[in-house]
Every structure is written in C-alpha cells, then in structure tokens.
Amino acid sequence: MIDPIQTLCQLVAIPSVNPMGLSCDGDRLGEARLTDHLETLFRSLGIPFQRQPVHPGRDNILASVVGHVPPEAGGRLVLFSVHQDTVPGAGMTIPPWTPRIHENRLYGRGACDVKGGMAAMLAAIARLHQERPAAMPTIVVACTVNEEFGFTGAAALPRLWEPGVSKLLPRRPDAAVVAEPTSLQVVVAHKGVVRWRCHARGRAAHSAQPEAGENAIYRMARALVAIERYQKEVVGPLGFHPLCGGATLSVGMIAGGVSVNTVPDRCTIEIDRRLAGREEPGPAQRHLIEYLQRQCDAAAWLEHEAPLMSGLPLDNDANGPLAERLAAATCEVAGQCRQIGVPYATDAAVLAAAGVPAVVFGPGSIAQAHTADEWIDLGEVHQAAEIYYRFARRCPG
C-alpha cells in the first residue's frame, strides 16, 4: 500500500502546469514529468499500465486492477478518472512546488485541484491491487491531461475502448468517478462551458488626428455594453438545472492598442459562457453573436473565433444508482453525504456524453482551488482514499 499524504507531497512537488494553449517548452509546462512519475509508481506496485498520447509530449496514463470476473468475461468495469494538469503558479503567495504541511493542511499548487484526489485514488487502487477483495469489479484509474484548457485528455479515452485497441480498457466502462474537490459530496450535475475570443476591428491613425481612424476600443466598448445587458436580461433563462441554477456569461479579459498615441485598430476580449440544463456550446455561442449583430449592427467589425474550449453540462438523468452507491460509502466514512450540483465544468460530462454514467467526487473545496495559497485538508484526503476503496470493493462485480 502507499501513504496518500506522502504521495500527495510527491505529486505537488512535480510541476504539471497546463500550457494554456502555449507550447510545452520549459520544465514546468505540461504534464510529462508527472506522467513519468506515475509510470514509475505503477511499475513499482506491479500494476499494469498504459500511456495514451493525446498531444505532443502529453500522455494520459492508465492503470488497471482486474476484478473477480474480467470485463471480457462479462465482469463490471469501473473508471476512476483524475486530471494531471494544474493552473499556473504565478502570483501565488506561497512556493507553488514546495509542499508544506501546517495545521493538517497541505499547501501548494494543485494540492486541492486535483492532486489530493489523485493521491487518494492512487492509495485506493494500490490497496485494491494488494488485497484483491472478493467479487470486486475491474478498476481502471485514468490520469488524464489538459482538463484545465479543453478536456481533451478525457475526450481521448473512448478511443481506447474501441475493439482491439486497449487490453486495460477493453470496452466502455459501466461507471466513472471523476476526482475534483467536492468537499466529499457527490456531484451528480454540473454546468458546461464555452470560451472564445472576440475581436473588434478598427482603423489605425495618429492620435493627433483620431478622426482619420476608427477606434477599435470604442467599438468594443459598445459591444461590451450590449454583452452586459445580455448577461443581465437574456442569458439566465436560456438554460436552467434545478441543482446548478441558470446559465451565465462573463467577460474576463480585454486587450487592445499598441501605444497611447495610436488610434487602435484592434481590441480583443475573452468570453466565458456557462451552460446549464441541456444547452450545447455551439448554439450558445451563436446566440450571443446574433444578439450583438442585432444590438450593435456589429457584423462588419466584430469577429468571433472558434471556441478556445467547450464542455457539455452533466445531467443527473443516468447516474442515480452510481451516486447512491458512492454516497453510501461516503456516509460510512464521513458521516454524511449530499448529492449536489455545481456551477463549474469537469471531465465527467465528456464521459457521460460517451455513454458512461459519471459522478464527480473528491477531497478539498473548490473555494481553495486556483487560489494564491492553495491548500487541502489532509483529513479529507485520508477519508477520500477510504471512500474510493470501499466504493470499489463493494461495487457489483
């Protein structure tokens, strides 16, 4: 067996920063070092593993503990999924890659999102491999890449369960548990997301003769007024889920101009649209584009790029029995457990769209994820390891 806290310290000490669309040059960008570490760990435990290339130098890695009845013979197959990447460590008030324990909290980038959950899953699968509980299903843990900027690691997993492709994942899983910081509550529904860049075009001129140009920042200002009105008056009713709430929209970044004495010919914003209910990314993006064309007569000067990332919402229409089994294991260990909805997006929706009932569950609170002093409660990490183990041991095999 392995100690989840020692394992968590090792994971946090290995930078695995999502390059966020940039190249993976530099020793702290990309997941490769962490993937290599996980391969070494699985080798040392004697657990069969497989790497799956997703992007250049960025691989998913999977490991499998075969159950009482193998999947090929009709046995159950359960997927534990957890992403390897973190957001950047810039701007943190603590050393991001130096794990520090203080008052039963472990501090460092990724401690909460989501290496605490990864350490708990690794501890559980190592214990399952050693003890081989009677009648347990086959458990496959998939450590995926690029969750923070596109969910493409999870999206690559279904290619493995095509006939003859993977011995570790020989068919579609019967269920999936996705690790995220949920405070040990079972997330059965969440919002989706679509993000994209929008550009206002203008015409450059000297600032001494601004009338000779077309100021792209002024044009974007008109668009932003319309977007704010759209956010307040239009977007909410477009999608709704009783556990997650309504659809939302936010503009999070803006850039424009080259110098103060030049009329800018370009201004760019980045838009974050959260999807609720049964909304889909494409129609949600088009709805705003068409609204801006009507409100601002913007078709001639406003450009919208294809999405930077998109993810579907997770609905709770197919994961009820899975959620009940996981909640029962959680109540045994933690004393209580609720089935909830959350406003953020995860890999679970990707798996659900591929026909796998999926829930989200893990130690830590989303309130600590991505923060300047990110931390996780070590008691929850220990509890999560026990919960994952009990759930897997008792899941029908």
pLDDT for residue 152: 97
Query: 23 falls in which pLDDT band (50, 70, 90)?
Result: low
pLDDT at 26 over 60: no
Q: How far does CA 92 lie from the centroid of its chain?
A: 20
Averaged over 355-368, what is the pLDDT? 98
The confidence score (pLDDT) of residue 25 equals 60
pLDDT at 135: 85
Per-residue pLDDT averaged across 191-209, rounded?
Answer: 98
Quick check: 321 pLDDT over 70?
A: yes
Q: Where are the domains of the chain?
A: 4-190+313-394, 192-311
- Topology of domain 4-190+313-394, per CATH? Aminopeptidase (3.40.630)
Averaged pLDDT of the chain: 96
- Per-residue pLDDT band for 27 (boundaries 50, 70, 90) equals low
Residue 192 has pLDDT above 80, yes or no: yes
Question: What is the per-residue pLDDT for 394?
Answer: 84
How much of the chain exceeds pLDDT 90, in percent?
Answer: 95
pTM above 0.85, yes or no: yes
Averaged pLDDT, 249-269: 98
CATH architecture assignment, domain 192-311? 2-Layer Sandwich (3.30)
Which parts of the chain fold into alpha helices (H)?
4-12, 32-45, 116-131, 152-156, 216-233, 281-296, 320-334, 348-353, 378-394
Distance, CA of 267 to CA of 255 (rounded, Å): 6
- The half-sphere exposure of 158 on its side-chain side, counting CA atoms within 13 A, is 13
Give the separation between CA 192 and CA 175, rounded to whole angstroms: 20
383, pLDDT greater than 60: yes
Confidence check: pLDDT of 395 > 80 = no
Q: Which of 320, 325, 322 is nearest to 390 (CA)?
A: 325
Q: What is the pLDDT of residue 1?
A: 83
DSSP 313: P
Per-residue model confidence as pLDDT tens digits over 107-161: 999 999 999 999 999 999 999 999 999 989 999 999 999 999 999 999 999 999 9
- pLDDT tens digits, residue range 39-82? 999 999 999 999 999 999 999 999 999 998 999 999 999 999 99
CA proximity to 180, closest of 370, 16, 39? 370
